[in-house]
Structure 1
């Protein structure tokens, strides 16, 4: 599974309003629900918090990669959000976050390999400081997808 197979403009929001971790997770989850990727926002958010309790999802560089591994997932994707303000988040560099990649994956064991492959591909991309800066300055969801899927 490749990033271009799971990214979609309809679940990229470059104007997130939430000011807390909980508000951000709910806002992105609502986009997933509204576009048919999950069947229950509250259960999905509960499942995100189960994963959050296992370890830090702030990757540094003002980026967080929370995971929603849940039985309410209907289709694998990654919701992407950016805010014009920083949000407190547990992070490896102890910095707040304003760019969020919410993994939306089924808790079915058969999907674990795809999840890990997607995570590795995304991690490779966001490890590049120049690419992170491009993502911070992207003007449209289409531009975000282009940045993340180029070779």
Structure 2
């Protein structure tokens, strides 16, 4: 499965309002709710935050990938958010997070979930890819950046 296939352009937010981790996760979950990608978010933000208490998904270098296998989805869904001045996220390098990808996968498909996370992590270790995400002016540019990155693999 391709990341560009699960990222709906309506689930991309270029100017997040969040300043803290819980706000950021809630903002991304609400994108999924507003676009019908999830129908029941009761407790979902709490589940994600409980997981964050165990280990932060702030992987460093301004990136966080909150993720979870849940009963709320039939297939993988993703939201993307960007915050130019950063969000306090307790990342492993203690730096603010500017790029956030939220991935929710169905509980019965852990292998697919891990493959999506692995692919996204590889992409995010490439400086040019991250720079394009940081400088994109529109949601279409974000989506196209992801699509082109997948095609070049």
Give the alignment's TM-score, normalised by structure 1.
0.91
Q: What secondary structure is seen at the aligned counterpart in 1 of 2:10? A: helix
Question: What is the Cα deviation at residue 53 of structure 1?
Answer: 2.6
Q: Where do 1:1-151 residues align within 5 Å?
A: 1-106=1-106, 108-109=107-108, 111-150=109-148, 151=152
Separation of aligned partners in 2, 1:33 and 1:126:
26
Question: What is the Cα deviation at residue 86 of structure 1?
Answer: 1.3
Which stretches of structure 1, 4 residues or longer, exceed 3 Å deviation after superposition? none
Q: What secondary structure is seen at the aligned counterpart in 1 of 2:43? A: helix
Deviations, residues 92-131 of structure 1 (Å, cap 9, x unaligned): 222111211011212x22x111101100110110001121
Question: What is the Cα deviation at residue 88 of structure 1?
Answer: 0.9
The question of whether the paired residues in 1 share the 8 Å contact of 2:69 and 2:113 is answered with no
Question: What is the Cα deviation at residue 36 of structure 1?
Answer: 1.0
Separation of aligned partners in 1, 2:49 and 2:23:
13
Separation of aligned partners in 2, 1:2 and 1:60:
24
Separation of aligned partners in 2, 1:69 and 1:90:
22
Gaps of 5+ in 1: none
Gaps of 5+ in 2: none
Question: What is the Cα deviation at residue 74 of structure 1?
Answer: 4.3
Q: Aligned Cα RMSD in Å?
A: 1.4
Question: What is the Cα deviation at residue 2 of structure 1?
Answer: 1.4
